[in-house]
Every structure is written in structure tokens, then in C-alpha cells.
Amino acid sequence: MGNLTNEENWAARERLRMIEVLLWWRGWIRRGDLIQCFGISAAQASGDLQRFLELNRTGVIYQPNRKRYEAGDAFTCKLHRPSIAEAVTLVLGQAPGHAVLTMRSEPGPVAADDLVDVLSLPQRTVNDRAARLIVMAILRKEAVDVKYLSINSSSRKMRTLVPRALAWDGSRWHARCWDQEHSEWRDYVLGRMEECRWSKAKLGEIPEDIDWNTFIILKLKPNASLGKDAKAALKMDYGMTSDTRELRVRKAMLKYYRHNLGLSAEAGSNESWAPYFQVVSEKKES
């Protein structure tokens, strides 16, 4: 069989990666899978499979009675790191909003929602024009006037801001900005910007955003109130190879990490409302 595959080519690499993904998650692949997915010829699909066998000689076995290649016990991924998202979109079903090729285990097709369900939370909306100007202002290091709706103060007013960066807190986008009125660095939720325009305000010298530029080493451990098996489960869940886990966090983002991980406000605290992790130490990176 002639080798028609040049792995230096981007499209060829993607086809080889698809072979590996299906062998890892589904356990087998046929030539027709590549033909259906990439619209290539039978000869090209055969060449791709032959090239993959050369890259993974001991991990793939051809089963003539099933007319397919199957992953053996020695199969390992050499072209990519497996992701559960691959299994969800390519093997088990279709991710919301994404058209994907459905390749399932035999004998036949199954409705996607029979095998996978996804928690669909209300989406945070963003004013596209406001977001565009914020991004441009970050690049230009210029000020903008933003009509901002605040939940905490229950107000709607214009603010002169100098955006410095964007930050994702796990559920929404913030703009890290110098607030001209309050003379301090603050976070502003993009979804609460009703209007945004270039500012004509005269600004003085803007100080360094120390909290953004400072990194904290946050050391965590399973909460002391958990039982032995619960701690073991938590360590396995988060891939912990020791009793503690260190996170390198921007000081400006620390509050969001605390919120998402359910951490108490004080280092070393063992509050009952922080059932999974507690903070061992919180130190500025040297």
C-alpha cells in the first residue's frame, strides 16, 4: 500500500489526529470514517491509516472479520493529549451549537441526548460595540467613557475608564480598568456596559496596576473536616499527587478563585461553608 500521507501538511496531521482520537475514545476506526469526515478518497484514507500504523506500531490491530482497526492494550496517544470534550463531541453525541460528525459504537445511532446532557445556564450578554472599544482601548492605552449599570450601588452613570486587560472569572468577562473618578484599579463587567465611547477627558499619570502585576502562590489542601476516603476522592478529582496543591494566581484575580473554589476569606480558615478545600498559605511570589 502506498503511503500518500505527508504529516508535515496541516490537513494530513488533522486526519492522523482524528484516527488517534477515535481509536482512543471509541476503540476502533474504519477507512469510511475518514472518507465521511474529511471527504477524501479511499486511497487517501488507506494511506492515512498506513501512516498512522507506522507511528503506532504496537498499539493498533487490524481485525479482518470486522474490517476495522482496533486499539490494543498497548495503545497510547502520540499526537495529542486526550480531552473528555472529544468523547462528548465525536463519540457520544453532539455538543450544543456545534455540528459534528457522529461516530458511535455499534450497532446503530442513538439520540445525542440519550448519552450526554449539558447544564445550559443563562448566557451573559455583552454589548458588542462596547466590547470592541474596550479591546481597542487596551491596545491603544486610551480612555473610554462608559455608561455602567452597577448592581451593588444600584446606579447607572457614566464613568471614565482606562482599560488595561480583560479577565474571565469562570462565568463572565471583566475589563480591568483605571477608574478616573475613584483613582483606583477596578474590575468592570462587560455585560453591564450599556454605552461606550472614546473619552475626551484629560488624564493625569496613571499608576502601575500592582495587583494585576503581582502573583500569589496559593497553597490548598482538602478540608480537614473531610474523611480519609473523601480526601482521596478530592485529590483524584483534581489530579493532586500530594496532600497540597499550589496555584499561581494574579492578586487581582484571587477573589474569583476563592469564589469558584468555595474558599474562605482568610488563609488557614476552616469555615463550614468551604467543604472541599482550605487555604494552607497565601504568599506573594518571590
- As a whole number of angstroms, the distance between CA 267 and CA 269 comes to 6
Give the Cα separation of 165 and 254 in Å (integer). 16
Measured CA to CA in angstroms, residue 44 lies from 21, 39, 265 at distances of 18, 10, 59
Half-sphere exposure of 233 (CA within 13 A, CB side): 6
pLDDT at residue 264, rounded to an integer? 57
* pLDDT given at position 56: 87
Please state, in angstroms and rounded to a whole number, the distance separating the CA atoms of residues 23 and 75: 8
| Residue 1 pLDDT | 42
CA–CA separation, 234 and 47 (whole Å): 45
Q: Is 49 left (phi over 0), alpha (psi -120 to 50) or beta?
A: alpha
- Give the model's pLDDT for residue 99: 36
Q: What is the model's pLDDT at position 63?
A: 93
Q: What is the pTM of this model?
A: 0.70
What is the separation of C-alpha 270 from the centre of its chain, rounded to a whole number of angstroms? Answer: 29
pLDDT attached to residue 95: 45
- Angle CA 108–111–113, to nearest 5: 145
pLDDT for position 276: 87
- The whole-angstrom separation of Cα 126 and Cα 120 is 18
pLDDT tens digits in sequence order for the chain, 286 residues long: 444 556 568 899 999 999 999 999 889 999 999 999 899 999 999 999 999 999 888 889 999 999 999 998 889 999 999 888 888 777 776 543 333 444 444 444 444 557 777 777 788 888 888 999 999 999 989 999 999 998 877 778 899 999 999 999 988 999 999 999 999 999 999 999 999 999 999 888 999 999 999 999 999 999 988 899 999 999 999 999 999 999 999 999 999 998 888 875 554 455 444 478 989 999 999 8
Q: Where are the domains of the chain?
A: 10-115, 128-207, 214-284
Class of domain 128-207: mainly beta
Name every residue whose Cβ is closer than 8 Å to that of residue 256 and which is 6 or more positions away in sequence: 167, 169, 170
pLDDT of residue 113: 58
C-alpha cell at 33: 470514517
